[in-house]
Chains A and B, each alone.
Chain A
Amino acid sequence: TQLLEQSPQFLSIQEGENLTVYCNSSSVFSSLQWYRQEPGEGPVLLVTVVTGGEVKKLKRLTFQFGDARKDSSLHITAAQPGDTGLYLCAGPIYTGANNLFFGTGTRLTVIP
């Protein structure tokens, strides 16, 4: 059983559309991070959410941490081809842990 389940697993949309990616767990996380990874490259950190209910915005990307800190969402408005990539959520395995546990990933393709 995966600690962090992401949905959908694959998403293909037209440029200009909006989308939401979900990261769910039955466990409470002290924080969650979102990464984007392009083929052949390492993940790049987009945001870290720490407080339950927290909302962070990064240009067209809106990240939310669930009130109970068990889930998070990433919403992209007016998607662009440059948003194409693998989106990963990740969190420390336990509070204060050094290492991260990664979600199952969502592969997004934005078609021009």
Chain B
Amino acid sequence: GAVVSQHPSRVICKSGTSVKIECRSLDFQATTMFWYRQFPKQSLMLMATSNEGSKATYEQGVEKDKFLINHASLTLSTLTVTSAHPEDSSFYICSAREAGGRARSYEQYFGPGTRLTVT
């Protein structure tokens, strides 16, 4: 149980285009989802916290107009990288907290990640 999927797993896009990444909780409902970015050989950096039905909370230094987050249902959050540039190339990982239920408040379940390459 507690499986999180991401789609696509890899995407290559041209500079200036937009890319949407989906994060789904497959067997549980997630009131909160998180989006992280990870550069090569580095740790995870939290980009934003996404709450179902409300606006996302962005971390300092993350442009909310560039990284659009929508959490329209309890099982789906999307991250759209708008007008992508090569410096946006990275590994994007989402995680989800289960609504009530079995998980302790601090436990998150991670997706497999999406490798974005902007050419």
Using CB atoms and an 8 Å cutoff, list the residues of chain A in contact with chain B: 30-31, 33, 35, 40-45, 48, 88, 90-92, 96-105, 107
B-side binding surface: helix, strand, loop or mixed?
strand
Q: Are B43 and A104 interface neighbours, CB within 8 A?
A: yes
Which A-B residue pairs are the 8 nearest by beta carbons? A42-B110, A105-B43, A102-B44, A102-B43, A42-B112, A92-B106, A42-B113, A43-B110
Q: Name the residue of chain B whose CB is nearest to the CB of A101.
A: B46
Q: Range of interface residues on chain B? A: 20 to 34
Residues of B within 8 A of A41 (CB): 112-113
Residues on B with C-beta less than 8 A from A31 are 106
B106: A residues at CB distance < 8 A: 30-31, 33, 48, 91-92, 97, 100
With A42-B93, A43-B93, A48-B104 as contacts: A99 and B46 at CB distance below 8 Å: yes
Of A35, A43, A96, A107, the residue contacting B105 (CB under 8 A) is: A96
Query: Given A42-B93, A43-B93, does the pair A100, B32 have CB atoms closer than 8 Å?
Result: no
Give Cα A97–Cα B104 distance, bound, in whole angstroms.
Answer: 12
Q: List residues of chain A with CB within 8 A of the CB of B41.
A: 107
Cα distance A101–B106 in the bound complex, in angstroms: 11
Residues 84-119 of chain B, each 1 if its beta carbon lies under 8 Å from chain A, else 0: 000000010101010000001111111111010000
